[in-house]
Chain A
């Protein structure tokens, strides 16, 4: 069609900002036509303690994808993004449907497949471990352009605990030899008490890190927003992972999180003598929209380290 377009396969919640709800608006605001395929229909995310609604079954996902294929050529997407898949069956169904698309591509335009292998965070799985081998199968297909795990997910996928830069290098090398992925971005890795974002490109073997200014608080939906911002930057940067791109994404994310944190403090009438706020359940993507269209490509370049 006449605009950049993207298919995002992730969760839907009626209230709050995780999954597609935290990804679709930032991408739309950056000018994308975003097709949103929902893997859940929940009232809210589980971080609230309870929720209602239901996950989309593998059968109905396949039915919707097949229905969509009748009226729309998936090869015209610039990016296909897969995020939260509730079960191994759901992920397998998505994989099978997308593989059919990539097998048909031939020499024509090919959507870039970005996979956020959503498994868990901070040492805890929040999906069944049966999902892990399905992600590994997906990485072996040769169709994935970029993956965006967090530290826990990359450790789970490689079996290597990341405690030093040597560990990071070895894990990335081994991963690169095992699977056929063009680019890897680890959204955050903690080394010696400092957080870093790590980028790697298989064809050049270039591996680099950029430090992240940490806000000592958890943000639900943060990883999903990171992947959305990265997808837009990846397209704008001719599908190359470079320090400029990571600088832009990491800074945008930080600005949005900082805005959200301050807004949460206001909402709770938080004062400096109170216990610090440890959790922000809803990132303020709407309120922070001005940051989505700013350019931060040079913000952190002086802090880049090649490994």
Chain B
């Protein structure tokens, strides 16, 4: 069996962090060990939540136990939301041992989005320190804002985007890079599209992804999990894998949006209920927009060509 270690958040209710990542991986045959970096009642988008973060000493003792007593061997490691710098540092100290059997590591440097940080600034340096360690990170999946934080470069156009990506390749030696969402402005897009940019030895490619006008949470966590699975099945072919993952994620979002409308209408007992748009910190809309991770079960094995058009970055520069 192929086994994987997932280090992410846990919520009792809803689907973010490990809760969005683990079930899809399990359906694809992965034995997932999961460390919960936080233990919360629900994700913070509801406006209220309860629970606590894992203590760094406890993370250390759990990882030590896995490495020395259980002699775990992981084919893949995934890290997502880690709430503070101490926990990131503790994880980084264990990474060389966790990777000793040649597993590959996907780092999703979850720090914020749209120029807003939801972890402390001290986390940036800790992630940079992980990147500086020798060849530990195989795949990285920041969004545009996180790419800026990691590289210190402000991304205002295609050229600065490429500079930032090259910095990750050259200074940090990361072979597989996916910038999960780049704003339309960078690509002079007049529509509401976002762009997913992938870069590896195969070159740099761009996918245009139509956006559903709503606030979903856990999408990035689902994306990273599916990417690990697809890369393993596609012999590390990044652009094929990303196209498949984008396809699965878009189906999951459509299903979620459709189910959310039905659920909201059923609750309102009113066919004319207004347009449902998820708003952050609004429990009334959030509760309908939890990803339908369970109902999307049959999507996760998708291995077709992908529904998105891939464009070479070079062509876009002309």
Query: Which residues on A are within 8 Å of B, measured CB to CB?
Result: 1-3, 7, 12, 14-15, 25, 28-29, 31-33, 35-38, 41, 43-44, 48-54, 56, 60, 63-68, 70-72, 284, 286-287, 289
Contacts and interface: CB of A to CB of B under 8 A. Distances in A.
Candidate in B39, B288, B294 with the most chain A CB atoms within 10 angstroms: B294
Given A54-B58, A64-B50, A64-B51, A29 B297 contact: yes
Given A14-B35, A43-B66, A64 B41 contact: yes
Given A38-B39, A43-B65, A71-B13, A60 B52 contact: yes
A286 B30 contact: yes
A15 B66 contact: yes
Given A52-B61, A67-B50, A286-B26, 13 more contacts: A14-B35, A41-B36, A41-B39, A41-B58, A43-B66, A44-B65, A48-B69, A50-B65, A50-B69, A68-B50, A71-B48, A72-B13, A286-B31
Contact of A53 (B10, B49, B62, B286): B62
Contacts of B266: 2
B96 interface: no
A294 B66 CA distance: 34
B46 interface: yes
* Most B CB within 10 A of own CB, among A3, A14, A25, A37: A14
A67 B49 contact: yes
B12 A51 contact: no
Interface string B1-44: 10000000010110000010001001101110111100111100
17 contacts: A1-B263, A1-B288, A2-B266, A12-B36, A41-B58, A44-B65, A44-B70, A48-B69, A48-B70, A50-B65, A56-B39, A60-B51, A63-B50, A66-B50, A67-B41, A67-B48, A72-B287
Given A64-B40, A68-B41, A1 B287 contact: yes
B62 A43 contact: yes
Nearest to A70: B48
Interface in B258-276: 259, 262-263, 266
Contacts of B85: none
Contacts of A52: 58, 61-62, 64-65
The interface centre, meaning the residue of A7, A31, A33, A48 with most chain B CB atoms within 10 A of its CB, is A33
Contacts of B50: 63-64, 66-68
A51 B48 CA distance: 33
Nearest to A27: B294
A184 B287 CA distance: 35
A284 B3 CA distance: 12
B236 interface: no
A70 to B, nearest CB: 5
B163 interface: no
A63 B51 CA distance: 7
A68 B42 contact: yes
Interface of B: 1, 10, 12-13, 19, 23, 26-27, 29-31, 33-36, 39-42, 46, 48-52, 54, 58, 61-62, 64-66, 69-70, 72, 259, 262-263, 266, 283, 286-288, 292, 294-295, 297
Contact of B61 (A43, A48, A65, A289): A43
- Specify which of A33, A67, A71 lies most central, judged by the most chain B CB atoms within 10 Å of its CB: A71
Nearest to A285: B26
Contact of B13 (A28, A50, A51, A68): A68
A60 B42 CA distance: 14
A64 B38 CA distance: 12
Contacts of A1: 263, 287-288
A85 B192 CA distance: 49
A78 to B, nearest CB: 14
Contact of A25 (B12, B26, B36, B287): B26
A53 B61 contact: yes
Contacts of A37: 12
- Top 4 nearest A-B pairs by Cβ distance? A67-B50, A67-B41, A68-B41, A52-B61
Contacts of B283: 70-71
A71 B51 CA distance: 14
Contacts of B46: 71
A184 B115 CA distance: 56
A36 B12 contact: yes
B33 A41 contact: no
A224 B294 CA distance: 21
B58 A72 contact: no
Contact of A51 (B1, B65, B297): B65
Contacts of A35: 12-13
A289 B70 CA distance: 24
A32 B294 contact: yes
Contacts of A68: 12-13, 41-42, 50
Contacts of A287: 1, 29
Contacts of B292: 3
A190 B186 CA distance: 71
A238 B295 CA distance: 22
Q: Which of A12, A56, A63, A67 has the most CB of B within 10 A?
A: A67
Nearest to B63: A43
Nearest to A38: B39
Contacts of A49: 69
A211 to B, nearest CB: 32
Contacts of B23: 25, 28
Nearest to B6: A14
B51 A2 contact: no
Contacts of B31: 286
A53 B13 contact: no
A64 B39 contact: yes
Interface centre among B26, B48, B65 (most CB of A within 10 A): B65
